């Protein structure tokens, strides 16, 4: 994955997260194989294994999933959140849950931050996925594990109904809902 970032805090944060996660034995998080800056192009890259599909594609293909299938996917996702207990993902959504080697795994830690790390809220004001964004994100308040739990609830709703819980036409609608 070529990161669409330049040399700034977001690029360095994503590299730091990738470097930390490469040290861990993760079963429910898509592993990072390599990460860094290309000296020729000055672009940032993270290298991950190829996944079979993302959860949004699964929802689009099946509509609502059976309760047992939804529970299995949600348990994989919860286990992924436990594996990265010291991170707040901040952009958990079906497109960031990937099927890899028979397990649904969390991916795309592009705006994640370590729990203790402080981050300027302004750096993230345009980096949210409206159907899954928690109220504190809309209010430009500090994200916490509760932010990821909120998104997980929205994913659960999507799995069981085939659509996200809120059907905003634009970001203002989502914020109001």
Quickly list DSSP for 136-155: HHHTTPPP-HHHHHHHHHHH
- Give the integer Cα–Cα distance in Å for 95 and 74: 14
The catalytically annotated residue of 91, 108, 126, 148 is: 91
The 10s digit of each residue's pLDDT in 17-57 is: 888 899 999 999 999 888 887 777 777 778 889 999 999 99
Three-state SS at 161: helix
Tokens for 163?
């659509």
Asked if residue 46 lies in contact with residue 3, where contact means CB atoms within 8 angstroms, the answer is yes
For residue 97, pLDDT beyond 50: yes
CA dihedral 82, 86, 91, 97 (to 10 degrees): -30
The pTM for the full model equals 0.87
Largest CA distance in the chain: 49
Find the mean pLDDT for residues 76-86: 96
Asked if residue 112 lies in contact with residue 9, where contact means CB atoms within 8 angstroms, the answer is no
Q: Is 91 a catalytic residue?
A: yes
Q: Which residue has the higher pLDDT, 122 or 143?
A: 143
Q: Quick one: pLDDT at residue 60?
A: 96
Nearest to 139 by CA among 153, 154, 124: 124
């Amino acid at each position: 994955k070529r990161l669409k970032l330049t040399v700034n805090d977001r690029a360095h944060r994503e590299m730091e997260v990738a470097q930390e996660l490469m040290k861990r034995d993760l079963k429910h998080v898509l592993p990072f194989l390599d990460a860094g800056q290309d000296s020729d192009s000055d672009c940032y890259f993270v290298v991950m294994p190829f996944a079979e599909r993302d959860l949004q594609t699964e929802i689009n293909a099946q509509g609502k999933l059976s309760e047992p299938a939804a529970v299995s996917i949600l348990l994989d996702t919860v286990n992924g959140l436990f594996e990265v207990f010291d991170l707040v993902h901040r952009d958990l959504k079906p497109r960031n849950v990937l099927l890899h080697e028979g397990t649904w795994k969390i991916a795309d830690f592009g705006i994640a931050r370590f729990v203790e790390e402080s981050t300027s809220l302004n750096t993230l004001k345009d980096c949210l996925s409206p159907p899954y964004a928690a109220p504190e994100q809309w209010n430009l308040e500090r994200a916490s594990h509760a932010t990821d739990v909120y998104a997980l609830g929205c994913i659960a709703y999507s799995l069981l109904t085939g659509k996200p819980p809120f059907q905003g036409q634009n970001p203002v609608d989502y914020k109001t809902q």
